[in-house]
């Protein structure tokens, strides 16, 4: 593992990393070291999956899973019986997906096509009934990247096909700037998740630290700054890109720190 210079981390996450000192090895959520942590937590998180499955069941046909990662949506969609193309730019995340597919029956994995590509600029020789983009992924792109994504999605949808994009925004102004919670990965490993997101901030800082690090040796700390976008901004961009938003379904209870909404859109 190559040591990474420790950036400034706000709040309790910064204090925790300072306590680790030289033992802390910071990495991104999707790189070679952080992808394992992200995958462990994502595999234990069923949020959104039920709503995505319900939306996909409304229309027959293949699915394009953008920013597919290690297969959080891909595998349930394959279990539904759909043909799925899983596209992601990270070779580390796709390696994890390939490993998971290898453990599935052949009749399942043969319905999955894995593609390494940038979701803001790709060309596929197939049309899809559904193009899916899960929470926070859209906000990882700048305005130019999002414009490219919308063009690629429009070119990839079959007649009457739907673009399913879920969006996360801050739920309320009265929430604290930082929250810390304990979460367990699919492996059973406990992690402390730090999220620093002041009201009005253009991004939130996410830091994941093992809850029970070994007494000696390096400690992998997964960290990223995730830009935030408002739901109204995304709806406006979709309209400008030639989409019509047919439905908007809130997935989180009212009053939560995070507000997650699933938008269903079609080409106008």
Instruction: Identify the pLDDT of residue 120.
Output: 97
Tokens standing for residue 81: 């019986």
245 and 166 in one domain? yes
Tokens standing for residue 61: 């046909």
205 and 90 in one domain? no
SS3 content of the chain, % helix, strand, coil (to 5): 30, 30, 40
DSSP secondary structure letter of residue 215? S
Does residue 184 form part of some domain? yes
Instruction: Identify the pLDDT of residue 3.
Output: 40
Tokens standing for residue 92: 């580390």
The whole-model pTM stands at 0.89
104 and 237 in one domain? yes
Helix, strand or coil, per DSSP, at residue 194:
strand
Angle at 87 between CA 210 and CA 257, to 5 degrees: 45
252 in Cβ contact with 175 (< 8 Å)? no
- Provide the domain limits for residue 192: 11-29+173-227
84 and 190 in one domain? no
Please state which of the ranges 42-51, 210-219, 240-249 shows the lowest mean pLDDT.
Answer: 42-51
- Band of residue 7 on the pLDDT scale cut at 50, 70, 90: low
Q: What is the pLDDT of residues 150-193, one digit of tens each?
A: 999 999 999 999 999 998 888 776 788 999 999 999 999 999 99
223 and 233 in one domain? no
- Band of residue 2 on the pLDDT scale cut at 50, 70, 90: very low
Does residue 146 form part of some domain? yes
234 in Cβ contact with 263 (< 8 Å)? yes
| Distance (Å, whole) CA 263 – CA 254 | 17
236 in Cβ contact with 136 (< 8 Å)? no
pLDDT at 138 over 70: yes
212 and 147 in one domain? no
51 and 15 in one domain? no
164 and 131 in one domain? yes
- Band of residue 45 on the pLDDT scale cut at 50, 70, 90: confident
Can you tell me the mean pLDDT for 254-263?
Answer: 82
Residues paired with 180 in a beta bridge: 194
Does residue 3 form part of some domain? no
115 and 94 in one domain? yes
Q: What is the pLDDT of residues 216-246, one digit of tens each?
A: 999 999 999 988 888 899 999 999 999 998 8
Beta-sheet pairing, 24-27 with 190-196? unpaired
DSSP secondary structure letter of residue 57? T
């Amino acid at each position: 593992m190559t040591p990474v210079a420790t950036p400034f981390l706000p709040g309790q996450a910064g204090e925790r990393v300072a306590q680790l000192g030289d033992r802390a090895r910071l990495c991104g959520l999707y790189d070679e070291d952080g992808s394992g942590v992200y995958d462990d937590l994502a595999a234990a998180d069923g949020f959104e999956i039920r709503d995505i499955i319900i939306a996909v069941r409304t229309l027959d046909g293949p699915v394009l899973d953008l920013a597919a990662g290690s297969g959080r949506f891909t595998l349930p969609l394959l279990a539904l019986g759909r043909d799925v193309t899983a596209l992601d730019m990270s070779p580390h995340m796709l390696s994890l997906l390939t490993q998971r597919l290898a453990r599935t029956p052949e009749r399942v994995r043969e319905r999955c096509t894995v593609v390494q590509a940038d979701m803001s600029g790709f060309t596929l020789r197939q049309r899809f009934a559904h193009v899916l983009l899960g929470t926070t992924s859209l906000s990882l792109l700048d305005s130019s990247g999002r414009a490219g994504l919308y063009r690629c999605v429009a070119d990839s949808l079959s007649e009457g096909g739907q673009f399913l994009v879920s969006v996360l925004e801050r739920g309320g102004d009265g929430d604290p700037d930082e929250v810390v919670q304990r979460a367990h990965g699919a492996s059973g490993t406990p992690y402390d998740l730090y999220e620093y997101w002041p009201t009005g901030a253009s991004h939130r800082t996410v830091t994941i630290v093992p809850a029970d690090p070994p007494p000696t040796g390096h400690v992998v700390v997964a960290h990223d700054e995730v830009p935030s976008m408002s739901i109204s901004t995304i709806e406006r961009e979709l309209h400008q890109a030639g989409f019509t938003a047919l439905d908007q379904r809130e997935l989180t209870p009212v009053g939560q720190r995070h507000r997650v909404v699933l938008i269903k859109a079609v080409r106008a």
